[in-house]
Amino acid sequence: MSNKISKERKSIYYVGLGLIVLGVILFLSSFITVAIDMNSSFGGPPTFFLRAVVGMICIIIGNVLVSIGAKGVAGSGLILDPEKAREDLQPFNAAKGKMINDVIENIDVVKNIKGENAERETKEIIKIKCRQCGALNDEDAKFCKSCGKTI
């Protein structure tokens, strides 16, 4: 499995960021327009209100696209498929210091012994957190594998 984020996901991420910036500019420009036009009459339809609404819509869509670009479709929660979510989140986890992978790996371990068609074996792993440094250690450990203090 590759730890690289695909070009499509990077493109979606950057399009989302662009929409967020555009939305913020449109939203804030409506307030600037109102401040400038305070002395003039509001004879026509209020275009500043429409810009604010379009700006908010751009911000919301941009945030969704940024989430999909960073975490993938399943990783962002739009598709409920745990296996696909793990695959989508792999490069995101590597960038975040593998914190999410540590949690996922310590909840349950599914190992495929003889390839794709073999039965899967589920094994429960219990870890103990060190009081000094917070590292996860095996349940039978006497000393922390990270800092060496007594558990």
Top-confidence residue, 150 or 40: 150
Above 80 in pLDDT, residue 67? yes
Quick one: pLDDT at residue 117? Answer: 47
Rounded to whole angstroms, the Cα distance separating 89 from 123 reads 22
Are the beta carbons of 114 and 80 closer than 8 angstroms? no
Percent with pLDDT over 90 in the chain? 11
Tokens encoding 78? 């739009």
User: In whole angstroms, what is the distance from residue 27 CA to residue 87 CA?
Assistant: 36
- pLDDT tier at 121 (50, 70, 90 boundaries)? low
**Length reported for the chain:** 151
Give the global pTM: 0.47
Cβ-contact 136, 129 below 8 angstroms? yes
User: pLDDT for 92-105, tens place per residue?
Assistant: 666 665 555 566 66
Identify the pLDDT of residue 49: 78
